[in-house]
Amino acid sequence: MSNVATSAVSSTTSAGAAANASVFAQLAQIQAQLAAQNDALSNKASAQSSSAIGTPQNFTKSTAKSQYNNVASATDIGTVTNGQTRVNAFGSLSAGDPADYLSFKMSRKGIINLGQLDMGQTRLQVMTKTGVVLADSSSKSGSAYDAYTAMVNGQKTLDAGTYVLKVSRADGVKLTQKVNYGVQVAAGDYSKDYTTTITAPSNNASISASAAGISSALSDQLTTMKNWTIGQTGTQKLMGTMINLFA
């Protein structure tokens, strides 16, 4: 084999090893983030935890998001009822896509348990149905960040009504970069678990080929979701899906 060929093989091998190392580093970051959240929750006596009641029923669906990125066209991911239901949503922001808007309903007033998995690439905001920001995962958002932390730790109450989750890119993440995300909302323990895969707008003729590819890839996640172990914790569910999205 010539020196040129040997060099090419060596470069390819090095690139593959670097890519694998990057993936493992990202997964380690996810695990550290979730472990820190779990430790924080266990150390707060006043916090409300969220756990499965017995063997919960699992429901999955795939929904195409609206072509309009705004609060009014938010994609419905379900209803949260204290002691009964938990809702999960998994999706992706393709290159050039500024944000996803997801809506959920609180059937009655209760403490919210909010979960987010994004490897530091996305910003999550909780809004009223009119777009007023109640909580923000950005540490620069002041009291809105405090509210976000309280929701993650099961220490924030929401009134009955409709709310919107805005998922956008975190500071420093380029608009040209595709990012995957997972969000989860509960109000204490649950016996029914609802999962929504958010796909690209249904009018694929009007979107780019790359966006259509992402839509197809996310649709494939339904197969994975159907094989989830019943009664998984929030950490296990989010980890399982995000690992498959990065595969």
Q: Among 60-74, 174-188, 190-204, 229-243, which stretch is predicted with the lowest mean pLDDT?
A: 229-243
Q: Decide if pLDDT at 98 tops 50.
A: yes
Tallying the residues shown for the chain, one arrives at 247
Total of domains in the chain: 1
CATH at 97: 2.60.120.380
- Cα 161 to Cα 13, 37, 49, 105, 192, distances in angstroms: 54, 27, 21, 6, 20
Radius of gyration, alpha carbons of the chain: 19
Q: What pLDDT is stored for residue 240 in this prediction?
A: 57
Cβ atoms of residues 169 and 177 within 8 Å? yes
More confident residue, 177 or 8: 177
Burial 180-200 (b: 16+ CB within 10 A, else e): bbbbbbbbbbbbbbbbbbbbb
What's the whole-number average pLDDT of the chain? 77
Query: What pLDDT, on the 0 to 100 scale, is given for residue 192?
Result: 95
Confidence of residue 234 (pLDDT cuts 50, 70, 90): low
Q: Which domain holds residue 26?
A: 3-246
What is the 3-class SS of 119-150, one letter each residue?
CCCEEEEEEECCCCEEEECCCCCCHHHHHHHH
Beta bridge partners of 179: 93
Contact 41, 235 (CB under 8 A): no
Alpha helices in 43-183 (DSSP H): 143-152
Confidence of residue 90 (pLDDT cuts 50, 70, 90): very high
